[in-house]
Amino acid sequence: MGAGLEAGASLRTKFNKEIRVVKQLGDGSQGIVYAIDYDGRPMALKWYRPNVFYDRQKFIDNLRNNIMSGKPTDDFLWPVDMVEVMGGSFGYVMDLRPEGFVEARELFLHPNLFPSYRRAIDACMNVVSAFNVLHSKGYCYQDVSGGNFFVNPHSGQVLICDNDNVAPAGIDTGIRGTPRFMAPEIVVENSVPSVQSDRHSLAVLMFMMLCVQHPLEGVRFTKAGSLDPTMQKRLYGIEPVFIMDPDITTNRPDPAFPNALKVWPCLPEHMRRIFLRAFSQNALKNPNRRPSEMDWIRELVRFRSEVVNCVCGNEVFLENARPRTCDKPSCGRRVGTALRADLPGYSLPFVDDTRIYRCQTGVCDANVALEPLVWVLASRERPDVLGVRNVSRAPWGVSQGASIHMVAPRQTVMVIPDMELRLNEERIHISRNV
């Protein structure tokens, strides 16, 4: 059998299910993706081209292991069954990509597909928390790139595909990654992909999502002309320099590509700090110095809560709930909020839709970091009246002056300045933001 499958072709899977090829959906370097009927259900089949493997049997064994162990979270389009036929061709079955999802690289080119910046932050949060689970199960992904993720720009939901790459950390399946996303130590061919190299690729992906520019592609990239393998090795491997590096100014963004120049000064300082850490010479050259998924989750959760809309429609980032001038040059209004929430480490604007998660109220395990605790809701009749809802599974307390009362899960109470939320050991004070 050749590389391709004919529409109508019928095959039997490892789990003894009957599949029928419906039509071709996509064509990549490794293989072709088909829409199939899988035992009566519409699904997808990735069918490999022959001779694309470094070690075919190892690849098949790894794929089988992934199928048997099941998907880490619903954010993964995970292999669920596989097909092997005489002649050595094979493929795996997965769910179809649902409606409304686009490839992440589309969002790098057309960031306006996100209806709001907050949704871009949500997408980053979802990617990094999915990787948090994947890494905690001992896997590494090996090939993070803009082509392996689907994002629903309206919900911020992500779907991570091409999970045939996923392997236990330390196992060499021959995958090296995608140029521009590979960690420097992989580009210079010193090591095989690891949890730490995934972390570099994730940081690149998030910078591209939030600053709409590649973090290492400044003037050295635009002046390079052709990106031959030697130049690629230099820019992404041997001498990578962050375009915003505070000390090395030889690779600043080219003014002809000003996206990062526009976004960077508007970012809250804590977000600039984590990007500076992720792309510091220290982290670029020492894989163990890269921020972990939990480090990213903490900053992204905080960042999400700092996004406030100006009346002109522009989104403004209020670090520590401090009022600031709208960044849109034609607007220039002062943007601030009437209330703020004082958390253990920082303050947040306290407005409609503010959410507070477990990882914001003190030390916690990674698996409960994104457990929601508090959700702020504006009254439908009077949008200036706010309520605070207990969205956790346990009751918490509210104190106003000397009186304290319990708020049961799903219960909402009206917000009054100077009230205090008592979540276990932690206190969140709601203050007037003057």
Return residues touching Zn ion (CB under 5 A): 310, 312, 314, 326, 328, 331, 333
Smaller CB distance to Zn ion: residue 42 or 313? 313
Non-local (6+) Cβ contacts of 15 within 8 A are 81
Smaller CB distance to Zn ion: residue 124 or 310? 310
Smaller CB distance to Zn ion: residue 169 or 266? 266
SS (H, E, C) 362-405: CCCCHHHCCCEEEEEEECCCCCCCEEEEECCCCCEEEEECCEEE
Q: How does DSSP classify residue 76? A: B
Give me the least distance between CB of 352 and Zn ion, in Å please.
18
Give me the least distance between CB of 330 and Zn ion, in Å please.
8
Give me the least distance between CB of 212 and Zn ion, in Å please.
20
Smaller CB distance to Zn ion: residue 40 or 265? 265
What are the residues facing 47 on neighbouring strands?
A: 32, 91
Nearest CA to 16 among 86, 90, 81, 88? Answer: 81
Smaller CB distance to Zn ion: residue 280 or 314? 314
Smaller CB distance to Zn ion: residue 134 or 307? 307
Within a 13 Å sphere around the CA of 430, how many CA atoms are in the beta-carbon half? 25
Smaller CB distance to Zn ion: residue 262 or 333? 333
Report yes or no: 152 and 127 within 8 Å, Cβ to Cβ.
no
Smaller CB distance to Zn ion: residue 266 or 331? 331
Give me the least distance between CB of 321 and Zn ion, in Å please.
17
- Measured between alpha carbons, how far is 266 from 303 in angstroms, rounded to an integer? 12
Report yes or no: 222 and 257 within 8 Å, Cβ to Cβ.
yes
Give me the least distance between CB of 398 and Zn ion, in Å please.
34
Report yes or no: 198 and 142 within 8 Å, Cβ to Cβ.
yes
Give me the least distance between CB of 117 and Zn ion, in Å please.
13
Report yes or no: 201 and 147 within 8 Å, Cβ to Cβ.
no
Give me the least distance between CB of 350 and Zn ion, in Å please.
20
| Encoded amino acid at 93, one letter | V
- Measured between alpha carbons, how far is 124 from 117 in angstroms, rounded to an integer? 11
Helices 269-278 and 195-211: crossing angle in degrees, nearest 10, is 140
In 3-state terms, what secondary structure has residue 325? strand
Q: How far is the CA of 426 from the CAs of 19, 275, 345, 377, 394, in angstroms?
A: 54, 29, 11, 22, 14
Tokens 């004919």, residue located: 6
Give me the least distance between CB of 105 and Zn ion, in Å please.
30
